[in-house]
Structure 1
Amino acid sequence: MTAPATRHVFVYGTLRRGDVRDITRLQPAPQFAGMATVAGVLYDLGPYPGLRLGGEGRVTGEVYAISAELEQRLDEIEEVWPQQTGEYSKREVAVQMDGAPAAVGPLCLVYEVNASHLTGRAVIASGDWRRRTPGP
């Protein structure tokens, strides 16, 4: 019997360890793979952030290996399945693992906020939800 396929997820906001939706408290338990960054811009949406991928900025987060069951639970939390609110969409992108050479890390699932939800929202200049201060 083969082991189930494992995917990776990049979490950058309230799913980070120690935050209100701490992914490490979810079941089946994820496996921490390391800190990483991804190209993008982080926005302050009040109680949680939103990430738009691409551009020159870097957003800090944590990478976890997850099971298909946990991926489904994350889809529910981010409201991309079964009820699709349109606030977030699930993408798969390469990340830059901390401490790694210039080569990119694993492909990771990322929940990206829809641009239509960003009107009037401040950019988190640091790219790190834990060090949030609005940008210019």
Structure 2
Amino acid sequence: MPEAPVRHVFVYGTLRRGGRNDINRLVPAPEYVGMGEVRGVLYHIDWYPGLTLGGEEAVTVVGEVYRITPALEALLDGIEQIAESADSEYFKREVQVTVDGAPVECLLYEVNPQRVRGKSVIGHGDWILFHPA
């Protein structure tokens, strides 16, 4: 049986190390690759953040990059409540994330822009600095 292609995920909020949903506590365990950066806007939704990519207010948003299995990806989809509809809270995106100066193709969970209306912007782009565990 052929191996599934290698997938990477960029986590920027509660899935980060030490966060409420720390990806390192999940099974099957991910493999840490390094710290990553994307350009976007980080919002304080509630006890968790949401990230929109790009935009005029974009800053460098930091997070962690992990190598994951298809089983872990399915588990993450459940945590992020991915739904096949326009009103899903998050959408799965494939983006290039900069890790140690090099681009890495990553899965990223982008918040639905409709869900951030009236929410506060986290101007420095680091959820852990804003909301330590």
Task: State if a TM-score over 0.5 links the two structures.
Answer: yes
Q: What root-mean-square deviation, in Å, do the aligned CA atoms of Structure 1 and Structure 2 show?
A: 1.9
Which residue, 79, 84, 93 being the options, matches 1:77? 79
Aligned residue runs from structure 1 range 93-104, under 5 A: 93-97=95-99, 99-100=100-101, 104=102
Identity %: 50
Higher RCO, 1 or 2 (CA under 8 Å, sep at least 6)?
Answer: 2
Residue 106 of structure 1 aligns to a residue in which SS? Answer: strand
Corresponding residue for 1:35? 35
Within 1, Cα distance between the matches of 2:115 and 2:49?
Answer: 11
Within 1, Cα distance between the matches of 2:50 and 2:112?
Answer: 8
- Structure 1: gaps of 5 or more residues: none
Question: 1:3-30: per-residue Cα shift (whole Å, max 9, x none)?
Answer: 3322000000000011110000111110
Within 2, Cα distance between the matches of 1:62 and 1:50?
Answer: 15
Corresponding residue for 1:129? 127
Aligned residue runs from structure 1 range 1-136, under 5 A: 2-55=2-55, 56-81=58-83, 86-97=88-99, 99-100=100-101, 104-132=102-130
Within 2, Cα distance between the matches of 1:4 and 1:54?
Answer: 30
- Aligned partner letter, 2:79: I
Aligned pair count reads 129
TM-score by length of 1: 0.87
Within 1, Cα distance between the matches of 2:42 and 2:54?
Answer: 11
- Aligned partner letter, 2:81: E
Within 1, Cα distance between the matches of 2:84 and 2:59?
Answer: 32
The answer to whether the 8 Å contact 2:87/2:112 transfers is no
Within 1, Cα distance between the matches of 2:16 and 2:85?
Answer: 23
Residue 116 of structure 1 aligns to a residue in which SS? Answer: helix
Residue 123 of structure 2 aligns to a residue in which SS? Answer: coil
Residue 75 of structure 1 aligns to a residue in which SS? Answer: helix
- Aligned partner letter, 1:79: Q
* Pair 125,43 (structure 1): closer, same or farther in 2 beyond 3 Å: same
The answer to whether the 8 Å contact 1:10/1:64 transfers is yes
Q: Give the superposition deviation at 1:129.
A: 0.1
The answer to whether the 8 Å contact 1:76/1:83 transfers is no
